[in-house]
């Protein structure tokens, strides 16, 4: 069983779906790329870090690399959506490294609500990308990223100020106590955490808490905690030279052995092999 799904994208992934069936992600996902999700029709429930949100047409969800997310159909079966995944570094096709870094400083995981002319222009950019998406050859990739660049330029001016790490459950039916628990896990994953204490803190029975928690996040309490911790492990394996003991300590695993067991059950390989493989590719 894979309680988390890591979907790697080496380049640009672009997809439009119009679906008449309910669709529920089987597991929480995260990527090492940016994701931009745009709701065009119907409704879709999204769980993302501290955010539980019922996405409506005009809503855009920006998901930073390594941020866990989960989506499902709740109130409406019918929906339409664009999804875009791209590695930040690929923008270097068009930008200098400094420009790219300055641009991405503006982005953090959040939900934007677009209306009127701005929403129209957003759709227009995505239709442009759609028209050249299957092209290859001379300058084709640069052309595709020119649309990504235009989209980022449009969204950057609409980004809210970096929020306080607050609980956000706009237009969702998720109970405040569950949001509070999610927020607690996101903040304290480095510490020992146990289910009994958390359920106690929010004044719920363990059974009731587990049911509501899993409805909100798409994962059980233990899966969710491991998922949060594993995204941090993943990131540290790629971006630092920390030893496995140091990583275990900074991500709340009781020992390197514990970390390796949980990691192995998700990625089907040891953390050190994972690190080596990634470095060999890049």
Select the residue interacting with its own copies from 21, 136, 138, 192 (CB under 8 A).
138
d(CA 275, CA 263): 12
Query: Which residue, 139 or 170, is less far from its own copies as judged by CB?
Result: 139
Query: Which residue, 47 or 119, is less far from its own copies as judged by CB?
Result: 119
In this structure, what are the phi and psi dihedrals at residue 6, rounded to the nearest 5 degrees?
Answer: -100, 120
**DSSP states along the chain:** --SEEE---SS-EEEEEEESS--B-SSEEE-SSEEEEEEEEE-EEEEETTEEEEE-TTEEEEE-TT--EEEE--S-S-EEEEEEEE-GGGGGGTS-HHHHHHHHTT--SEEEE--HHHHHHHHHHHHHHHHHTT--STTHHHHHHHHHHHHHHHHHTTPPPPPPS--B-TT----HHHHHHHHHHHHHTTS---HHHHHHHTT--HHHHHHHHHHHHSS-HHHHHHHHHHHHHHHHHHH----HHHHHHHHT-SSHHHHHHHHHHHHSS-HHHHHHHHHHH-
**Stretch near its own copies under the rule CB under 8 A, chosen from 29-37, 92-100, 187-195, 248-256:** 92-100
200 binds its own copies (CB under 8 A): no
Query: Which residue, 4 or 144, is less far from its own copies as judged by CB?
Result: 144
Query: Nearest distance from residue 150's CB to its own copies, in Å?
Result: 6
Query: Nearest distance from residue 100's CB to its own copies, in Å?
Result: 10
94 binds its own copies (CB under 8 A): yes
Contacts to its own copies from residues 142-181, by CB under 8 A? 142-143, 146-147, 149-150, 153
Query: Nearest distance from residue 232's CB to its own copies, in Å?
Result: 31
Query: Nearest distance from residue 165's CB to its own copies, in Å?
Result: 27
Query: Nearest distance from residue 149's CB to its own copies, in Å?
Result: 6
Contacts to its own copies from residues 99-118, by CB under 8 A? 99, 102-103, 117
277 binds its own copies (CB under 8 A): no
Tell me, residue by residue from 42 to 81, as one string, x for binding to its own copies by CB under 8 A and - for no binding: ----------------------------------------
d(CA 178, CA 141): 43
Query: Which residue, 138 or 207, is less far from its own copies as judged by CB?
Result: 138
130 binds its own copies (CB under 8 A): no
274 binds its own copies (CB under 8 A): no
Query: Nearest distance from residue 105's CB to its own copies, in Å?
Result: 11
139 binds its own copies (CB under 8 A): yes
**Stretch near its own copies under the rule CB under 8 A, chosen from 122-130, 180-188, 235-243, 271-279:** 122-130
128 binds its own copies (CB under 8 A): yes
Count the Cβ atoms, other than its own, within 10 Å of residue 97. Answer: 10
d(CA 137, CA 66): 31
d(CA 24, CA 31): 18
Enumerate binding residues for its own copies (CB under 8 A).
94-95, 99, 102-103, 117, 121, 124-125, 127-128, 131-132, 138-139, 142-143, 146-147, 149-150, 153
């Amino acid at each position: 069983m894979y309680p988390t799904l890591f979907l790697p994208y080496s380049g640009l992934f672009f997809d439009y779906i119009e679906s008449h069936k309910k669709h529920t992600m089987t597991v929480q996902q995260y990527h090492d790329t940016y994701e931009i999700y745009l709701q065009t029709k119907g409704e879709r429930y999204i769980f993302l870090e501290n955010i539980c949100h019922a996405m409506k047409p005009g809503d855009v969800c920006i998901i930073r690399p390594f941020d866990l997310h989960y989506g499902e159909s709740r109130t409406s079966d019918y929906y339409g959506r664009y999804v875009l995944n791209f590695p930040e570094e690929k923008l270097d096709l068009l930008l200098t490294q400094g420009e790219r870094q300055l641009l991405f400083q503006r982005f953090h995981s959040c939900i934007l609500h677009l209306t009127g002319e701005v929403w129209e222009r957003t759709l227009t950019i995505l239709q442009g990308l759609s028209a050249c998406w299957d092209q290859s050859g001379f300058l084709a990739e640069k052309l595709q990223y020119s649309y990504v660049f235009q989209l980022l330029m449009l969204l950057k001016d609409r980004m809210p100020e970096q929020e306080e790490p607050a609980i956000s459950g706009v237009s969702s039916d998720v109970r405040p106590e569950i949001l509070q628990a999610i927020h607690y896990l996101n903040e304290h994953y480095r510490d020992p955490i146990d289910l009994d204490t958390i359920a106690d803190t929010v004044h719920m029975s363990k059974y009731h808490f587990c049911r509501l928690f899993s409805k909100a996040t798409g994962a059980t309490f233990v899966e969710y905690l491991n998922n949060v911790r594993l995204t941090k492990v993943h990131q540290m394996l790629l971006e630092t030279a920390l030893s496995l003991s140091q990583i275990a300590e900074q991500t709340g695993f009781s020992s390197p052995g514990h970390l390796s067991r949980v990691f192995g059950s998700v990625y089907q390989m040891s953390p050190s092999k994972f690190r080596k493989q990634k470095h060999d590719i890049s």
